Chains A and B, each alone.
Chain A
Amino acid sequence: VPDTEPIIELLKDASTRREAFSLLVKQYKHRIYGIVRKMVISHDDADDIVQDVFVKVWNNLDKFKGDSVLFTWLYRIATNEALQFLRRKRNKIWFGNDITKELAEKIESDKYVDGDEIQLKLQKAILRLPDKQRLVFNLRYFEDLSYEEISVITEVSVGSLKASFHHATKKIEEFLQDD
């Protein structure tokens, strides 16, 4: 996790807030995009959401408490936006649409992916998990975050997160072993 101390110092002063925000975007855009993209799959959707996340961050900078960790605050906003996007997609009036299937098809036809057959199979296995479990798996497996950090981001207890990750791993391995 990058050092956020200089950014937090600049954020405290209204005259340097814009500069601090620019540094924040520069430092976190790749990570925020990565987390969001793994959840919503489509690059265009991820692009829209990442912009919304940073606009929301800018509008809520006053609410950021210097004592809380900056990256967990950012990640919480990003994961909430991604989950909300998926929830909206599932709540569409158009009944009978299968979002999991739609996202799996998107992965197969997406020109902005790079991986061999087993990587594709892994991504399709992850997609079969419920959204929140998928989020926990991604944060732990791909982002290498500790359970304590994920607990702050998702506001779920460490014990529940460990159980969730264990079940997710088991389901993914089962899918990987299937033909």
Chain B
Amino acid sequence: MEKNPNKKLDEIPKKEFFQVPDGYFDTLDQKIQDRISEKRDGKVVPFYVEHRWKVIGLAAAASIALLLMILPSLDNQPVVSKADQLLAQVSADDCLAYLEFSELDIEDIIGSTPSEDIEAALEEYMFEGPEIEDEDLDLLYEKYGATSDEKLKTL
């Protein structure tokens, strides 16, 4: 690389800095034609989203298979067959850890959740409020130096 670190913008020659692999543009047309030939219901599914969900699907399938292998070997542990029941046994912390590593974003999660479920969750949150254990409440009081009575006054 040429050593020439400090220049003004108009002294720098404009050139194509970014390159492509050999033959990339020769194959791009066909890739696009293939995509439009196999499009589903006229809706574009971005490749990176589609690819990501395949990976997530495989990870979920692997998790279920692992649970199926482990559960029968545990003493006094009933063998359950439904995926929902198995997944219900995964702790919230493990779910959060998985989501953190999965690179899912909020749009993906909302996009994959039926709208009625989102509405139900919002309704529950708005009208009933989140359930907080007494221990957690005490910790909050302690952290902010308030007593239960003071907390009640602020509500």
Mark A residues whose CB is within 8 Å of B. 21-22, 25-26, 29-30, 33-34, 37-38, 41, 43, 45, 47-52, 54-56, 58-59, 85, 88, 91-94, 112-123, 141-142, 169, 172-173, 176-177, 179
Which residues of A sit under 8 angstroms from B2, Cβ to Cβ? Answer: 116-118
Interface size of B by CB at 8 A reads 41
Q: How far is the CA of A143 from the CA of B107 in the complex (A)?
A: 32
**New contact pairs (9) apart from A33-B20, A116-B1, A117-B3, CB-CB < 8 Å:** A29-B25, A48-B46, A51-B47, A59-B39, A59-B43, A92-B103, A93-B99, A93-B103, A118-B12
> Given A43-B21, A118-B4, A94–B28 Cβ distance below 8 Å?
no
Instruction: Write the nearest CB–CB distance from A46 to chain B, whole angstroms.
Output: 8
Residue of A21, A55, A58, A121 most packed against chain B (CB within 10 A): A55
Instruction: Please tell me which one of the listed residues B29, B48, B106 contacts residue A93 in the complex, with CB atoms under 8 A apart.
Output: B106
Q: How far is the CA of A141 from the CA of B12 in the complex (A)?
A: 12
Q: Is the CB of B47 within 8 A of A52?
A: yes
Which residues of A sit under 8 angstroms from B28, Cβ to Cβ? Answer: 25, 29, 33, 47, 50-51
Q: Is the CB of B15 within 8 A of A115?
A: yes
Q: Is the CB of A179 within 8 A of B9?
A: no
Q: How far is the CA of A118 from the CA of B14 in the complex (A)?
A: 11
Instruction: Please tell me which one of the listed residues B31, B43, B48, B107 contacts residue A91 in the complex, with CB atoms under 8 A apart.
Output: B107
> Given A59-B39, A113-B17, A54–B32 Cβ distance below 8 Å?
yes
What are 28 of the A-B contact pairs (CB < 8 Å)? A22-B33, A30-B25, A33-B20, A49-B46, A51-B28, A51-B31, A51-B32, A54-B36, A55-B44, A59-B36, A59-B42, A59-B44, A88-B105, A91-B105, A91-B106, A92-B103, A93-B99, A93-B100, A93-B105, A94-B100, A112-B18, A114-B16, A115-B15, A115-B17, A118-B12, A120-B17, A169-B9, A179-B5
Residue B104, interface by CB 8 Å: yes
Mark B residues whose CB is within 8 Å of A. 1-9, 12, 14-21, 24-25, 28-29, 31-33, 35-36, 39, 42-44, 46-48, 99-100, 103-107
Q: How far is the CA of A51 from the CA of B21 in the complex (A)?
A: 16
Instruction: Write the nearest CB–CB distance from B94 to chain A, whole angstroms.
Output: 15
Which residues of A sit under 8 angstroms from B99, Cβ to Cβ? Answer: 93
Q: Is the CB of B5 within 8 A of A121?
A: yes
Instruction: Write the nearest CB–CB distance from A20 to chain B, whole angstroms.
Output: 13
Q: Is the CB of B48 within 8 A of A45?
A: yes
Q: Is the CB of A25 within 8 A of B32?
A: yes
